[in-house]
Amino acid sequence: MTAPILITGGRIIDPANQTDRVADLLIVDGQISAIDPAKESIPDGAEKIDASGKIVSPGFVDLGVELREPGFNEDETIATGSAAALAGGFTSILCCSSTMPCIDSPGAVEFVRQKAVQADGVRVHVIGCLSKNRDCEQLAEFGLLHEAGAIAYSDAPRPITNDALLKRALEYARMFNLPIINRPNVMSLSEGGVMHDGQVALVLGLKGLPTEAEDLAVARDVRIAEATSGRLHIGPISTMGAVDLVRRVKDRGIPITASVCPHNLCLDDSNLRSFDSRFKVHPPLRSPGHISTLKAAVADGTIDAIQSGHMPRAREKKMDDLDASPFGLASLETTLSTLVTYMVVPGLMDWSAVIDRLSTAPARIAGVGGGCLSVGYPADVTIIDPDAKWTVNPLKFKSRCVSTPLDGLTLDAVVDSTIVGGRVRYQRGDDSAK
C-alpha cells in the first residue's frame, strides 16, 4: 500500500488516450485513480504535488540500457543505472545482456531482477540473450529465459551476424509473442572503425564506420522479419539508408519498429576533430545529412521510439586514445532535454509526439506496462518542467559514467519528479544533478 498522491494544476499529456489539458491527477494504491477527481473522492491526507506550469506525462520507457552488472561494475551497477534512469524521467528500462556472465540462463535473469528489487528504483525488465554466450552460434533457451522473466531477446549491443540464427529466433520467439531486438551492423564492414566513414574521417586519418554496414543489416533484418512474421525491433539506427528501408517496409504493412538515440539527432561527426573520446559513441555521430533525415523520420513516426543509448564506460577506459577507447556514453539523464532542445524548441515536434516516442511507443513495442495514464493502470508518472534550462555537468550525474558528448551544453527542460508505482522515487528540488 502506498500513500495517495494528488498532482494538481499540471498539463496532462497522455498520447495513448489523446489527452492534452490542464487537470489534477489522483493516485491511490499505486494506480491511476482519476483525472480531475471529485473533491469528495480525494482521500484525507493525500500528498499534494503542485505541478502548475509543468507537464505530467506517463513515465518514460527505454528499450535498451546497459547496466553492466555483473562483470563490469566499474562501468555501472544496477543501482546506479536505476538512479540515473529515475533522474532522466524513466520509470521502466530494458536491461541489455552486455554483462559477464551474459544473460543467457534463468539464473542470470533472476540475478538482475533481484538486484533491481534491492535498488528499489525503476522497473528493470530483462532482455535475455538471443544466442548462448552471445556468440551467434546456438540459440539460447528462449522458453527458460521467458519463464524466468525475460521480456525480449537480443545480443545487443552485439549484432546478430548469423542469418539462419536470426530467422530461427524470429520464428521461435513467436511462440512467446516476444520481440527480437537487433542492432544492425555488418561486422565485416565496420570492424576496427572509430567514427562515421566520411570526409571528416578521411581528413583525420581514422578508420570509418560505413553507412553500408548498417543499411545492409537493416535490409536483411526486415526481409527475414517479413518472411517469418516475427516481432522485430531494429535499433538504434543512424543512417539515411536505414530510414529509407524502414519507411518502405512499413508502407508495405510489415510491422517492424525502429528507434534512434538522441545524440544522433543533434551532434555530427565534425565533433571528432577534437579527438575527444567522449564523442566516440555507437551508433556513431553521422554527417549533417543523416541527422536531418533522422529528425524528419522521428517527427513523422517512421522511427517509432527514442532510446537513450546508455552505454556506460568507466572514466579510465574513456581516457585512452581515441582509437583504443571503447564506444560509450552516459545518456539516461540527458535524453529528454536533448529531444526538447533539438526537436521541440525548433518546432519539429510537439510535446505529445515527444512523450509518445519516449513512453507510449516503447511500452507498446516492449509489451510492458506503462506508457499511459489510464485509470486503473500502474501510476508510473513523470513530471517535467518545460521552461527550465540546465548545463550538462557529468560530474553530477547519478550514473557512474561521466562521459557524454553533451558535456557543457545548455539544454531545455528538466525532469522535476519521477513516480514509480505511486511512489515518488526522484525529485529534483535541491538535487545536485540538475
Name, in order, each residue with C-beta under 8 angstroms of 176's C-beta and a sequence gap of 6 or more. 142, 143, 146
Instruction: List the grid coordinates of 133.
Output: 554466450
Taking CA atoms, 408 is separated from 35, 257, 283, 325, 426, in Å, by 39, 33, 22, 21, 23
Q: What's the pLDDT at 432?
A: 40
Number of domains in the chain: 1
Asked if residue 120 is part of any domain, the answer here is: yes
Residue 112 covered by a domain:
yes
Average pLDDT of the chain to the nearest whole number? 96
430 pLDDT more than 80: no
Whether 119 maps to a domain, the answer reads yes
Residue 395: helix, strand or coil by DSSP?
Answer: helix
**Is residue 247 included in any domain, yes or no?**
yes
Domain span at 280: 61-366
pTM: 0.96
Q: Tell me the residue type at 390.
A: W
pLDDT one-digit tens code per residue, 286-319: 999 999 999 999 999 999 999 999 999 999 999 9
Specify if 428 maps to a domain.
no
- CA–CA distance, 380 with 85 (Å, rounded to integer): 13
Q: What is the CATH number of the domain that holds 250?
A: 3.20.20.140
Return the number of other C-beta atoms located less than 10 Å from residue 423's C-beta: 14
Strand partners, 32: 27
Q: b/e for 283-312, b at 16 or more Cβ within 10 A?
A: bbbbbeebbebbbebbbeebbbbbbbbbbb
Residue 293 in domain: yes
In a domain, 430, yes or no: no
**pLDDT (tens digit, 9 = 90+) per residue, 196-248?**
999 999 999 999 999 999 999 999 999 999 999 999 999 999 999 999 999 99
Q: What pLDDT was estimated at residue 434?
A: 38
In a domain, 265, yes or no: yes
Q: Name the band, by pLDDT with cuts 50, 70 and 90, for residue 377.
A: very high
Torsion angles phi and psi, residue 408, rounded to 5: 90, -10
Helix (H) or strand (E) holding 417: strand 410-420
